[in-house]
Amino acid sequence: MAGYTDRAFRNLCKDWGVDYLVSEMVSADGLIRDKAKTIQYIHFDSRERPYGVQIFGSDPLTMARAAEALIPFQPDFIDINMGCPVKKVVKRGAGSALMKTPEIASDIVKAVKKITRDTLPLTVKFRSGWDSAHINFLSFGLLMQDSGADILCLHPRTTSQMFSGKSNWQHIRELKSQASIPVIGNGDIDSPEAALAMVEETHCDALMIGRGALGKPWIFRQITDYLSTGNYRPIIKSDLFATAMKHLDYALAYKREDIVVREMRSQMCHYTKGMPGGAELRATINHCGSAQEIRDNLKDFFQHFL
């Protein structure tokens, strides 16, 4: 998730047993024209493997060149974003706008596949369609499959829904029943129980989790345990505190402190959501000028709960 799933967050998820990780989305244009700036979104630690890089763009040749530029980084797979609904992406014909131009989307997959061939799996992530009058996930997904995608991932909302309303898991079920390649289900998995429901309702081959992991990276361990044993360990406040502190340390290990301090404003609020005094803590963290100040505030806050 752009702005959230950086190396620090991905490493936290790894600590909590995630199976696969994907980068934040990376612009194909950026990869070619401004590599130095774009590269920060690609770097990963070897312990993050299996790790994929997600690229977005609207021109088949540019996307192929971007895939080529990724090869030296040796990701474990490449993912193409055909689901982003954000205005500045869709107005360039990229992200979920590609669902309105399936022939271009198909050319993109074919062009990237020429680079990845059979050695680097190619995954494609898309939505249900542009809006409720244009639901085309099934024909679109099958076209991506026939164009060379190895795995499909469906977030069953329309572009016009953005992230609101409930995702329609029936769409995942339909796609799974028709596709001959694996289908990853995504959308509203925010608990181990929801994960089991997704598997049972859609029969999808794997689960993708976005917002449900923010401030809750242990969700991966809990889901794995729940799906295999029917039980999982509930999280206690000391897990929250330790994970929030670790998040800060992981980020400081590779980013400048002023950047980390700024980014932690949005990250930290997820660890204290719904807790008494959480809103005050978030307001305080918004004014912290150093990592040590954030640490001190977290300690003060959590000592009432530990």
Ligand X SMILES: Cc1cc2nc3c(=O)[nH]c(=O)nc-3n(C[C@H](O)[C@H](O)[C@H](O)COP(=O)(O)O)c2cc1C
Distance separating alpha carbons of residues 53 and 41, to the nearest angstrom? 9
Closest CB to ligand X among residues 153, 297: 153
Report the C-alpha dihedral over residues 249, 252, 258, 259, rounded to 10 degrees: -100
Q: Tokens in use for 98?
A: 């590609």
Catalytic residue status for 269 = no
Q: Dmax of the chain from CA atoms?
A: 58
Select the residue whose beta carbon is closest to ligand X and give its number.
210
| Strand duo 77-82 + 122-129: pairing | parallel
Residue with tokens 């193409």: 80
Q: How far is the CB of 138 from ligand X (least distance, A)?
A: 18
Q: Which of 13, 84, 153, 269 is catalytic?
A: 84
Closest CB to ligand X among residues 1, 143: 1
Cα dist from 105 to 56, 81, 113, 149, 165, whole Å: 11, 10, 12, 11, 26
Closest CB to ligand X among residues 131, 280: 131
Q: How far is the CB of 182 from ligand X (least distance, A)?
A: 17
Q: Tokens in use for 55?
A: 């690229």
Distance separating alpha carbons of residues 168 and 177, to the nearest angstrom? 15
Q: How far is the CB of 62 from ligand X (least distance, A)?
A: 18
Q: How far is the CB of 255 from ligand X (least distance, A)?
A: 18
Query: Where do contacts with ligand X occur on this chain (CB under 6 A)?
Result: 1-4, 24-25, 54, 81, 83-84, 125, 155, 163, 186-189, 209-212
Closest CB to ligand X among residues 83, 297: 83
Q: Which residues are catalytic?
A: 84
